[in-house]
Amino acid sequence: MAEWLRLKKSNCKNCYKCIRHCPVKSIRFSGNQAHILANECILCGQCFVVCPQNAKEIADETEKVRVLLQGAEPVFVSLAPSFIANYPGVGIRGMKNALKKLGFTDVEETAVGATMVKNEYTKMLQDPDRDLLISSCCHSVNLLIQKHFPGLLPHLADTLSPMQAHAMDIKRRYKDAKVVFIGPCLSKKDEADAYRDYADAVLTFEELTNWLNAENIPLEPDMDETEESRARFFPTSGGILKTMDPVPGFTYMAIDGVQNCIAALRDIESGNIHKCFVEMSACSGSCISGPVMEKFNRSPVREYKAIADYAGEKDFTVDQPAHADMKKTISPIVRYSQIPSEEDIQEVLKNMGKIKKEDELNCGSCGYDTCREKAAAIFQGKAQISMCLPFLKEKAESFSDNIVSNTPNGIIVVNDQLEVQLINPAARRILNVRASADVMGEPIVRIMDPVDFVHVLDTGRRVSGRRIYLAEYDRYVEETIIPDKEYHVMICMLRDVTGEEESRRKKERISAQTIDVADKVVDRQLRIVQEIASLLGETAAETKIALTKLKETIADE
């Protein structure tokens, strides 16, 4: 499968939104990046639609079409009937005028091919051996059955899609013609690539719009009222059914949205569904809600009304191809994911911290509906344990709690109302608090003087390393208070410096005693020196100065 849906790696932000919305979980996360698993993807485009960072992009075939236009062969456009919903007020004549300016030979409606397909469905239902028939117009539904429900392939209509039938008809009528399909669908690019005898390239409406804008070609309103245009209903939910003439004995139903299609296919797998024609569309609302239209132009009511107003009451006049020419082979596509055993899943759950059944929160934050689905994806290499947000939160909280609980410094967190929100064991020891519950939610004034907290709250400036004496606890602490404006709390850190303070005071007492002794010694020695000096006839000035310096030195120490 070609890479029709690409990832802009720099834009992926690990939000897991694409996995949450991927109906078949065909996305693998590795190296903090999303990777699309081609052998599981059904190209429904939901990851493209929901990505908040626009990290997914559809492969653009505009240059390929430009090359086709430069060739000698005539290039025709098969225009999906949903164009009237994407380009309001611009009918087929308006589209034809604009596209011819780009160099196309002519433009026709894919609805012509849809009429051929509808006729083929009716023939298939008239077969007395036919029990159940699933429409095959939507390539994403075909891929869903080929990859995820291969046992139901006998029920999938083995007939061409409207795009293929119309392309075949154009090439039958015009020798060497090339056909470019233009529509709202991503998966049609893959369909054209897988069945190369029909459409030669596929453009989305977005690609066409960008091309027209680049060439400064306006789309001018030019509507038509063609009565023979009932197949224009095809891109709406139930649109195929609106065009069909019911075959007696069959129940007709329309299923849209991949999740609904999966539920219906599981119902069919049960073997209890019989004599039904099931119209299936991967997009909720069918093709008028295709990924390109939904991403940029989602207006389901207006779009349906545009289709209904434009469609006629009768079928297009077509030269119906032979039954054999309308058939195509739809084969199973093998997936390579290994199915984990129960032991494998339990081992992964254990590594995720899911030891007991109640640990399985099934919160879906990782993108998977249940923890067991996530465990299976981890086993298959599609997911990582780190994608489990409750697990990471618990791990982070455990890590931070371990630090807070074991640090020798006291930590107190108070809110803007000066109420205690957290107090760690070290702070409880410093402040003689028996248990956290005794002060949690209580005013800080119960255990500390709130003056510094009020100052930090009023000024927004931190207090750093302020040494204070807690008289009621007979402790000296070094206090730091940090305001956290984002969370509207203040974090107070207390370092018990009682031992340091007692050592300093002891040293001061010793110094004071030493100075006092020195003073007495100086006085005593001075008297002796004066007496000796008077006997020797010497001055005592120098001796006094020396002893005074000795005294100052002791005081400084």
**339 against 396, higher pLDDT:** 339
Rounded-to-integer distance, Cα 260 and Cα 23, Å: 10
Could you give the 3-state DSSP secondary structure of residue 249? coil
Out of 49-63, 387-401, 468-482, which region has the weakest mean confidence (pLDDT)?
Answer: 387-401
Q: Are residues 83 and 119 in the same domain?
A: yes
User: ∠ at Cα 515 (513, 521), nearest 5°?
Assistant: 105
Is residue 226 situated within a structural domain? yes
Could you give the 3-state DSSP secondary structure of residue 54? coil
Q: Are residues 486 and 429 in the same domain?
A: yes
**Mean pLDDT across the stretch 42-53?**
88
Burial of 208 (0-12, 13-18, 19+ CB in 10 A): buried
Domain end marker among 339, 373, 406: 406
Q: Which domain holds residue 444?
A: 409-496
Q: Are residues 210 and 231 in the same domain?
A: yes
Is residue 4 situated within a structural domain? no
The DSSP symbol for 385 reads G
Q: Are residues 89 and 217 in the same domain?
A: yes
Whether the CA torsion 134, 139, 140, 143 is positive or negative: it is positive
Instruction: For the chain, give the mean pLDDT.
Output: 88
**Mean pLDDT across the stretch 150-179?**
97
pLDDT band at 516 (very low <50, low <70, confident <90, very high): confident
Strands 475-484 and 201-204: unpaired
pLDDT score recorded for residue 216? 97
pTM for the whole structure = 0.70
Q: Which helix (H) or strand (E) holds 154?
A: none
Rounded-to-integer distance, Cα 446 and Cα 432, Å: 12
Spell out the residues 6+ positions from residue 98 whose beta carbon is closer than 8 angstroms to its own.
212, 217, 218, 219, 220
pLDDT score recorded for residue 551? 63
Structure-block tokens of residue 467: 């040494």
Is residue 6 situated within a structural domain? no
Inter-axis angle of helices 111-125 and 162-173, nearest 10: 110
Rounded-to-integer distance, Cα 489 and Cα 482, Å: 9
Domain CATH for 491: 3.30.450.20
**Mean pLDDT across the stretch 431-440?**
93
Burial of 406 (0-12, 13-18, 19+ CB in 10 A): exposed
User: ∠ at Cα 182 (178, 186), nearest 5°?
Assistant: 115
Spell out the residues 6+ positions from residue 32 whose beta carbon is closer than 8 angstroms to its own.
12, 14
Rounded-to-integer distance, Cα 19 and Cα 27, Å: 6
- Residue-wise pLDDT for 206-242, tens only, equals 999 999 999 999 999 888 888 999 999 999 999 999 9
Q: Are residues 120 and 265 in the same domain?
A: yes
**14 against 202, higher pLDDT:** 202
pLDDT score recorded for residue 410? 94
Cβ atoms of residues 275 and 251 within 8 Å = yes
**Mean pLDDT across the stretch 119-145?**
95
Is residue 22 situated within a structural domain? no
pLDDT band at 476 (very low <50, low <70, confident <90, very high): very high
Whether the pLDDT of residue 1 is over 50: the answer is no
Q: Are residues 397 and 414 in the same domain?
A: no
DSSP 301-358: HHHHHHHHHH--SBPPP--PPPHHHHB---------PPPPPHHHHHHHHHHTT--SGG
CA distance between the termini of the chain: 85
Place of tokens 């003073």: 519
**170 against 471, higher pLDDT:** 170
Strands 276-281 and 178-183: unpaired
Rounded-to-integer distance, Cα 302 and Cα 285, Å: 12
Q: Are residues 543 and 454 in the same domain?
A: no
Q: Are residues 280 and 140 in the same domain?
A: yes
Whether the pLDDT of residue 110 is over 60: the answer is yes
Tally: H helices and E strands in the chain: 22, 16
DSSP 99-151: HHHHT-SEEEETHHHHHHHHHHHHHHHTSTT--EEE----HHHHHHHHHH-GG
Is residue 383 situated within a structural domain? yes
Q: Are residues 413 and 351 in the same domain?
A: no
Is residue 477 situated within a structural domain? yes
Q: How many domains does the chain have?
A: 4
Is residue 72 situated within a structural domain? yes
Q: Are residues 303 and 370 in the same domain?
A: no
Is residue 49 situated within a structural domain? no
Whether the pLDDT of residue 358 is over 90: the answer is no
pLDDT score recorded for residue 296? 62
Out of 350-354, 449-453, 545-549, which region has the weakest mean confidence (pLDDT)?
Answer: 545-549
Spell out the residues 6+ positions from residue 291 whose beta carbon is closer than 8 angstroms to its own.
44, 45, 46, 48, 49, 58, 184, 185, 186, 283
Whether the CA torsion 59, 16, 286, 44 is positive or negative: it is positive
Q: Are residues 223 and 102 in the same domain?
A: yes
Q: Are residues 171 and 237 in the same domain?
A: yes
Residue environment code for 474-497, b if the CB has 16+ CB neighbours within 10 A, otherwise e: ebbbbbbbebeeeeebbbbbbbbb
Q: Which helix (H) or strand (E) holds 413?
A: strand 410-415
Out of 161-170, 477-486, 530-539, which region has the weakest mean confidence (pLDDT)?
Answer: 530-539
Cβ atoms of residues 209 and 83 within 8 Å = no
Out of 18-27, 211-220, 420-429, which region has the weakest mean confidence (pLDDT)?
Answer: 18-27
pLDDT score recorded for residue 255? 97
Q: Which helix (H) or strand (E) holds 518?
A: helix 498-536
pLDDT score recorded for residue 393? 62
